[in-house]
Amino acid sequence: MAKMSSSRVTSSAKVILLVWILKMRLLVFSSMSGSTDFGNVSFVVPGIHPYFYIGSDALNHTKEYTVASGSETAQFYTLRTAKALARTALDVLFCPEMMQRAKTEFNEVKMKKDK
């Protein structure tokens, strides 16, 4: 079996993650009655609305979550998540093949959904 460079594996993993996220967004929004400010945009262009752990079991949109989100622990997880998202964005911007694969997959999933 041929070896792949770690950068190719990382890039492939990111594309797979991006495609999975896009598919999940279509699945979730087709079966939900709620909405977000970002929801309608993601039907037109690929996008993500990430949720991540902040070191607390508090539910979002509660006073407990507001308090927890200001903690040092939450800042650690938030910064780590922000860095991962920024690195992924840079990979997509500077790797035209990755951008094209994401667009192609998004359009394929969208066309299936529209049928």
Instruction: Write out the chain's pLDDT in tens, 115 residues.
Output: 445 454 555 666 676 666 666 666 555 555 444 556 777 788 788 887 788 899 999 988 899 999 999 999 999 999 999 999 999 889 888 998 988 988 898 888 888 877 7
Q: Residue 36: its pLDDT value, please?
A: 65
Residue 25 CB coordination number (10 Å): 20
Number of alpha carbons in the 13 Å side-chain half-sphere of residue 93:
6
Task: Give the integer Cα–Cα distance in Å for 58 and 78.
Answer: 15
> Residue with structure tokens 């792949």?
4
Residue 100 CA, chain-centre distance (Å), reads 17
pTM for the whole thing?
Answer: 0.58
Tokens of 101: 């694969």
pLDDT value of residue 82:
93
